[in-house]
Amino acid sequence: KAGVTQTPRYLIKTRGQQVTLSCSPISGHRSVSWYQQTPGQGLQFLFEYFSETQRNKGNFPGRFSGRQFSNSRSEMNVSTLELGDSALYLCASSLVFPDLSKESGNTIYFGEGSWLTVV
């Protein structure tokens, strides 16, 4: 069974540009979430989608956006890139949206990430 797949793995962008990252969840998983990881800030939650609807959003500016498609695949977009946006962007999927009575279905599985460098 394939894991969470993220593309591209590495990319370099210039300040002011925009970038779109893609994520394919584990087959059958319906919840997709995105995270930013930097050495200084650790893992920070960006947003979560379930059934094509954003269910939760972290404390990031509006330049960060995302969407989920009917096949559960997701994309995130960062517009007007800044140097500080350089980070590892991680996508994760889980079987269900949080129903804490179904513990196993809530396990979050991460992809390998997309390394974004803004120059």
Partner 1 sequence: LAKTTQPISMDSYEGQEVNITCSHNNIATNDYITWYQQFPSQGPRFIIQGYKTKVTNEVASLFIPADRKSSTLSLPRVSLSDTAVYYCLVVGKSGSARQLTFGSGTQLTVLP
Residue 60 found at the interface with partner 1 (CB under 8 A): no
Residues 79-98 contacting partner 1, CB under 8 A? 88, 90, 92, 97-98
CA distance 53 to 40: 30
Phi and psi for 49 in degrees, rounded to 5?
Answer: -125, 145
Closest CB to partner 1 among residues 18, 54 = 54
Nearest-approach distance from CB 31 to partner 1, in angstroms:
8
72 binds partner 1 (CB under 8 A): no
Residue with tokens 């460098």: 117
Residue 12 near partner 1 by CB under 8 A:
no
Give the number of C-alpha atoms closer than 13 A to the C-alpha of residue 114, restricted to the C-beta side.
Answer: 26
Residue 18 or 89 having the CB closest to partner 1: 89
How far apart (Å, rounded) are the C-alpha atoms in residues 101 and 83?
42
Burial tier of 40 (Cβ tally within 10 Å: 0-12, 13-18, 19+): exposed
**Residues that bind partner 1 in the complex, under the rule CB under 8 A:** 4, 6, 31, 33, 42-43, 45, 48, 55-56, 88, 90, 92, 97-98, 100, 103-104, 106-113, 115
